[in-house]
Structure 1
Amino acid sequence: MLAEQLEGNIRFLSSVDSWEQGIQEAAAPLLDNGSITSGYIDDMIESVHENGPYIVIVPGVAMPHAKNNGTVNKTGVSYLKLDEPVLFPKDKEVKTFFVLAAEDSDGHLDLISDLSSILIEDETKDQLEEADSEERVLEVINSVE
């Protein structure tokens, strides 16, 4: 399910100027395909300003998400990988973003648990960090789903 959600929503960039820009760039495919509105991006950024870098779930990986306040049209996941890490509050370095947008909180929890179980495996996390194409990212995720 996760690989299907990610298809067409995977991007690679060399760097971003700020973690806020990282979230914007990571969420761009979902904005472009109509899954979310720009309000959802604002909510995700606001959430980190208010609650700190709780979305950095394992070292190097952030999972931006927010509640659906009428800002998610369709459940979706997008992925951004940076060559250069960007610093989140509390000096947390992040190179990989998985943006989660769920229409309802159940869908949200499912996506978070799917992703967490994938990222908790060091081997999988390493393979994702080395992936340099959409095909490879999908391959890694399909192999563990």
Structure 2
Amino acid sequence: MSIFNLIGDNGIVICNEENLSVDAALDITCSKLLEQGKVEASYLEAIKEKHKEIGAYYVLAPKIAMPHARPEDGVNKAALQVTVFKNGVDLESEDNGDVYFSITLAAMDSDSHIQTIMALAELFQNEDDVDAIIAAESKAEIIEILKKY
């Protein structure tokens, strides 16, 4: 299954807000998943709680985050949400700086998302595509890039 199949046409958010708090940014990274019933509010709360406990565990590299919690924290359907923060957001990651590109992962169990993680790793390693997603002005541009993975 491609990354795009888990995102769908309505799983992309382009955010132009500035100076977002961590909680406000996390709300945005889960907004479409919640709207579509793919996760429960408890899933977002679990991400926030884990952040309070151990910090920005989901900031993977400069510019890139992958917020996620455990399947039992409220996943109804395997899905991904892409969020582009045009002005960057400080998620309190000392090592990686501001985040511009986030993919929220909602997995049904520990095993079924291995292929998805591999595809995401391939995407995250392609700096040109990551930069193109961040620079994109429309969801259609982002979709074209994601369809390669």
The two structures have a TM-score, normalised by structure 2, of: 0.88
C-alpha deviations, 1:53-85, integer Å up to 9, x for none?
A: 221112111100010225011001001111211
The 2-side partners of 1:26 and 1:90 are apart by: 16
SS at match of 1:36: coil
* Residues 19 and 87 in structure 1, CA contact (< 8 A), matched pair in contact too: yes
SS at match of 1:27: helix
Q: Which runs of 4+ in 1 moved over 3 A?
A: none
* Residues 55 and 63 in structure 1, CA contact (< 8 A), matched pair in contact too: yes
The 2-side partners of 1:21 and 1:27 are apart by: 10
The 2-side partners of 1:110 and 1:89 are apart by: 29
Aligned AA (1:63): M
The 1-side partners of 2:131 and 2:53 are apart by: 30
Q: Is 1:102 equivalent to 2:102 in the alignment?
A: no
Look up the match of 1:23: 26
C-alpha deviations, 1:28-60, integer Å up to 9, x for none?
A: 101011100000000111122222222111211
Aligned AA (1:18): S
5+ residue gaps, structure 1, are none
The 5 A counterparts of 1:65-144 are: 65-91=68-94, 92-143=97-148
Sequence identity percentage: 24
* Residues 23 and 97 in structure 1, CA contact (< 8 A), matched pair in contact too: no
* Residues 85 and 93 in structure 1, CA contact (< 8 A), matched pair in contact too: yes
The two structures have a TM-score, normalised by structure 1, of: 0.91
Structure having the larger proportion of residues in helix: 1
5+ residue gaps, structure 2, are none
The 2-side partners of 1:109 and 1:66 are apart by: 15
Q: In the comparison of the two structures, how many residue pairs are matched?
A: 144
CA change 1:47–1:135 in 2 (3 A) is same
**Backbone CA RMSD of aligned residues:** 1.5
* Residues 61 and 97 in structure 1, CA contact (< 8 A), matched pair in contact too: yes
The 2-side partners of 1:24 and 1:100 are apart by: 14
